[in-house]
Structure 1
């Protein structure tokens, strides 16, 4: 009798962020929940892509997004969202100055 699964699980589209700092060199990792798959393991922040990560409105708020391939955009949005959800870190550039009148 074999203990192998009858069929392979269906992969989910997901994204991971590797956030690094130079001086001193550091790598950001998070600890998974104490229960479930890979309990308490150290992992890079990331997770499954949500349908909202494909919304066209992201092109208006992410700089240089027109230079990114259509199929890559939801991966980038999902990676940024997962990093925020898991760590409170929001990736972004400097805020543009407010325009008067």
Structure 2
């Protein structure tokens, strides 16, 4: 009998560039051999690691931090933001940071720290939550963070030389053209939320939450405590 995979906490970053002109979103393509969503174009992101909860973060943005805390296990909000920044750094080579010494950075953050920066979540906006439906080889409780790339990214936003090989064809895709790419269903739903928020740079008043089981789909907006899964 096939075991149901556990639902893992995860975080993704939706980097938005040229918001007031020709908006573009940073995406990359997963490999053909990937267990989860092979060959799909996705936002940079991934599962929370145990060490993410120990990353020192300051200036957690409100009300995003409170909503994350209300919709998550105790202490998970900083870990989700750290995971978002880490995955974005690993998969794109781009940094969401602020100047500052970090002499005790753990191993997978040492290159980040060597640039003279510490991770900075202050411009992350929690805009969407979704749970992978049953029947998939992996399942995630994913939180999506929108960030204004023109303000938040340190250095050249077109320099992907430090990216891992997890995503290929990294590119800034015009929002008007992104639906022509091979996208997961939930990515299309999230992109609709991004498009609706182009003229709203601040945190949303409520956060959409999408989940489904074998029989039902649920789509609600989170104003406080998330409904149970």
Q: CA deviation at 1:30?
A: 1.2
Counterpart of 1:75 in structure 2 is: 80
Q: Does 1:28 align with 2:23?
A: no
Counterpart of 2:198 in structure 1 is: none
Mapped to 1, the partners of 2:61 and 2:16 lie a distance apart of 26
Task: Compute the TM-score of the two structures, normalised by the length of structure 2.
Answer: 0.34
* Structure with greater Cα Rg: 1
Q: Does 1:14 align with 2:7?
A: no
Structure number with the higher strand fraction is 2
Unaligned runs of 5+ in 1: 97-101
1:44-59 correspondence runs (5 A): 44-55=43-54, 57-58=55-56
Mapped to 1, the partners of 2:2 and 2:61 lie a distance apart of 43
Q: CA deviation at 1:34?
A: 2.2
Shift in CA distance, 25/39, structure 1 to aligned 2, threshold 3 Å: same
Q: CA deviation at 1:75?
A: 0.2
Unaligned runs of 5+ in 2: 70-74, 101-229
Counterpart of 1:63 in structure 2 is: 58
Counterpart of 1:99 in structure 2 is: none
Task: Compute the TM-score of the two structures, normalised by the length of structure 1.
Answer: 0.72
SS in 2 for 1:27: strand
Aligned residues: 87
Aligned CA RMSD, in angstroms, stands at 2.3
